[in-house]
């Protein structure tokens, strides 16, 4: 039971910080597109499952010794974040209902899979999670990721339905968040390539 709870808390540390997935989920959920928000979260969770598998196979340790490969992956991730920021800006200007930025399983999956943040998190915590708390910890982590995704989705949906300008405000906040992460990921990736 202790391992399950520890894994759940670790999962919250992965999901709770505001990031690109949260921005897309919040935009979709606050404008009444709960299914889209959940699918984006499920894609991200699948991306984390792939990182877990790579940690188990030792591939993350291999990537840790090949920073340029991580840098190239990160540049793709930065481009994806900028594309998402442009879509969020268009949605904020034109009205959320006409957004060309749509959350999806694939978007969530690719965002996590190309993120240097995800790589760093799994490099630091992946083997620790398995070695310290075993499969109970892994189950707790993924259970908390699922629960958190539903809570966030329906929390933002509830706010969007009750506050007139919530969806628009969330869209503009998402633009800033996505662009900011895009800049940071791009600069981090370029530094990795320069090494």
Q: What confidence tens digit (pLDDT) does each residue in 53-100 have?
A: 888 887 766 776 777 877 777 787 778 778 777 877 776 676 655 555
Residue ranges making up the domain that contains 179:
2-12+19-194
The vertex-153 CA angle with 149 and 154, nearest 5°, equals 120
The total domain count for the chain is 1
Alpha helices in 58-165 (DSSP H): 59-64, 67-94, 105-113, 116-128, 134-162
Token look-up 């404008």 returns: 31
Residue 193, classed as helix, strand or coil, is helix
Render pLDDT for 121-162 as a digit per residue (tens, 0 to 9). 787 777 667 777 888 988 999 999 999 999 999 998 888 766
């Amino acid at each position: 039971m202790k391992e399950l709870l520890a894994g759940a808390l670790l999962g919250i540390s992965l999901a709770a910080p505001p990031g690109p997935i949260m921005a897309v989920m919040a935009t979709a959920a606050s404008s009444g597109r709960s299914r889209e928000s959940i699918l984006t979260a499920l894609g991200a969770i699948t991306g984390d499952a792939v990182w877990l598998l790579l940690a188990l196979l030792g591939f993350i340790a291999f990537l840790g010794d090949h920073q340029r490969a991580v840098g190239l992956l990160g540049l793709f991730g930065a481009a994806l974040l900028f594309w998402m920021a442009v879509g969020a800006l268009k949605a904020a200007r034109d009205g959320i209902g006409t957004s060309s930025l749509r959350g999806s399983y694939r978007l969530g999956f690719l965002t996590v899979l190309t993120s240097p943040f995800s790589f760093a998190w799994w490099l630091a915590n992946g083997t620790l999670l398995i070695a310290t708390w075993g499969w109970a910890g892994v189950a707790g982590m993924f259970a908390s990721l699922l629960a958190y995704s539903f809570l966030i989705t329906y929390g933002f949906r509830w706010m969007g339905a009750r506050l007139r300008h919530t969806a628009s405000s969330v869209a503009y906040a998402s633009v800033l968040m996505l662009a900011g992460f895009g800049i940071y990921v791009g600069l981090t990736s370029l530094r990795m390539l320069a090494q």
